[in-house]
Structure 1
Amino acid sequence: MTNEVTVPLLPCASIDDIVAFYEVLGFHTTYKQRKPNPAAGLRREDLHLQFFEIAGFDPAQSYGSCLVLTSDTGQLYRAFAAGMRAAYGKVLVSGTPRMTRPRARKNADGLSGFSVIDPGGNWIRVFQNAPASPAPAPAPTGRLGKAMANAVVQSDSRGDARQAARILDSALANPAADDDPVALVEVLVYRAEVAMVLNDPATAGEMLARVDRVVLSADEATRAAAAYEAATDLAAALAAGPGDRGVPGWGRSNR
């Protein structure tokens, strides 16, 4: 048979919170019930998710997860990010819910992936749909590139932000003369993101300030465009945080 469809059924503490969050991402409710048990179905184009409510459920203890395969992770990420900016004034990068950015995954043959961690603590893992005969992904090069790849596996895949921070801190503590400045920007920005996940805005601000001091050529700045975009989102999240004044001066041109 063909055309079978699998729909994940995921736990949450409140279907109302789930529905409100996914509506921000462009989903609409296909059904919602309170009895005999609270449940909701959501759909965004061909992406279907269903949720059931558990009284007293702790999202921090959730093991709920599913995979979403798409032809363009960047396009889907941008759509989700636009919804977050419109609803919250920022892309959610810390706490629950939050969203990681699309990055090549060393543990997924180098294919791009990002994750949405929803109010139920479920990890919706979005991956690039591999072609029938994918070419081998280039291995990360340079010590900073390798550190970045290892850190992404720890934080974005395993959810171990503390181990990612240790990997990145070790790399940043031992600069080398031949370090690629673009890779340095990418590592600093990712370290800031990891700090936000760890509820450490001071370190996040320090990392973004260091980004601003890296001097790049015009070509290097073009290569670092995605990292600078991520830094802008992180700076906005810092500025919107309770009692946080953001990162004055970040984002000025260093071309």
Structure 2
Amino acid sequence: MKGDTSIPALPCVELAPTLEFYALLGFEVTYRQQAPNPYAATRRGGAQLHFFGLKGLDPAKAFSTCLIIVDEVEELHARFLDALRKAYGRTPVRGLPRMTRMRKGQTRFTLTDPSGNSLMFIRRDEPSGYGDDENTPATVLGKALKAARRLRDFKGDDAAAAKVLDAALKKPDAGTAKEREQALAEHAELAVALGEIP
């Protein structure tokens, strides 16, 4: 008996640049048509993504999302980051395309393509709740770090994540010295992503 398969079909502004972008990440084109409607199928390992041209698509307002379950994420993130740096000459943390940062032990990251589609790569053995539900932080800073991480990694909302950290950092005795150091580092990363620091 064969198992069910689900393949996302994501909108794109133009097919050619979309396929070029995904080729950078190791996706191969398995099918392509221009007429009567632009459509293409890609594959990377067991992951398949299909794309269709959508007139009037505004990438800045796009909200299509796809989850891709993988065996490991840290090495994959490093490979994607290297390919994107070579292609764009920078670390893509803002604008389009962009990719969330990766810390040791993190179990997921999000890649947003030039058409605004977000692909969340999740480690297959990720603990439930993003791996941080069991250890609920007791301090204001600990809770802020958790909330900021979720806003950044799940919603792609760097501005909201920065506001959460900013509010917690203003409170005296909000957490441990280590939490304050981590919050300051994450706040600085978000400032770069938001274009506040060149």
TM range (shorter): 0.7 to 0.9
Q: Does 1:190 pair with 2:186? A: yes
Q: Per-residue displacement from partner, 1:191-245 (whole Å, max 9, x unpaired)? A: 23322343322xxxxxxxxxxxxxxxxxxxxxxxxxxxxxxxxxxxx4xxxxxxx
TM-score (normalizing by structure 2):
0.84
Quote the Cα distance in structure 2 between the aligned partners of 1:117 and 1:177: 33
Other-structure match for 1:130: 125
TM-score (normalizing by structure 1):
0.67
The 5 Å alignment of 1:135-150 reads: 137-140=134-137, 142-150=139-147
The CA deviation at 1:133 is 9.3
8 Å Cα contact 1:111/1:137 also seen in 2 = no
The CA deviation at 1:65 is 0.7
What SS does the aligned partner of 2:21 have?
helix
For residues 139 and 177 of structure 1, do their structure 2 counterparts lie closer, same or farther at Cα, with a shift above 3 Å needed?
Answer: closer
Higher RCO, 1 vs 2 (CA within 8 Å, ≥6 residues apart):
2
Other-structure match for 1:120: 115
Quote the Cα distance in structure 1 between the aligned partners of 2:127 and 2:175: 37
The CA RMSD measured in Å over matched residues stands at 2.8
Q: Per-residue displacement from partner, 1:49-68 (whole Å, max 9, x unpaired)? A: 11111122111221211111
Quote the Cα distance in structure 2 between the aligned partners of 1:103 and 1:180: 19
Quote the Cα distance in structure 1 between the aligned partners of 2:177 and 2:8: 42
Runs in 1 of length 4+ with deviation above 6 angstroms? 131-136
Question: More helix by proportion, 1 or 2?
Answer: 1
Quote the Cα distance in structure 1 between the aligned partners of 2:185 and 2:25: 24
Question: Structure 1: any 5+ residue segments left out of the alignment?
Answer: 105-109, 202-237, 239-255
Other-structure match for 2:195: 199
**Deviates most, 187-196 or 29-38:** 187-196
Q: Which of 177, 180, 194 is 1:180 aligned to?
A: 177
Query: Residue 147 of structure 1 aligns to which amino acid in structure 2?
Result: A
Query: Residue 192 of structure 1 aligns to which amino acid in structure 2?
Result: A
Quote the Cα distance in structure 2 between the aligned partners of 1:145 and 1:89: 35
Other-structure match for 1:38: 38
Q: Does 1:22 pair with 2:36? A: no
For residues 128 and 95 of structure 1, do their structure 2 counterparts lie closer, same or farther at Cα, with a shift above 3 Å needed?
Answer: same
Query: Residue 86 of structure 1 aligns to which amino acid in structure 2?
Result: K
Other-structure match for 2:66: 66
The CA deviation at 1:167 is 0.7
What SS does the aligned partner of 2:151 have?
helix
8 Å Cα contact 2:141/2:175 also seen in 1 = no
8 Å Cα contact 1:69/1:127 also seen in 2 = yes
Query: Residue 177 of structure 2 aligns to which amino acid in structure 1?
Result: D
8 Å Cα contact 1:161/1:197 also seen in 2 = yes
The CA deviation at 1:35 is 0.6
The CA deviation at 1:86 is 2.3
Q: Which of 164, 169, 173 is 2:166 aligned to?
A: 169
8 Å Cα contact 1:111/1:130 also seen in 2 = no
What SS does the aligned partner of 1:127 have?
strand
Quote the Cα distance in structure 1 between the aligned partners of 2:177 and 2:48: 41
Quote the Cα distance in structure 2 between the aligned partners of 1:142 and 1:103: 21
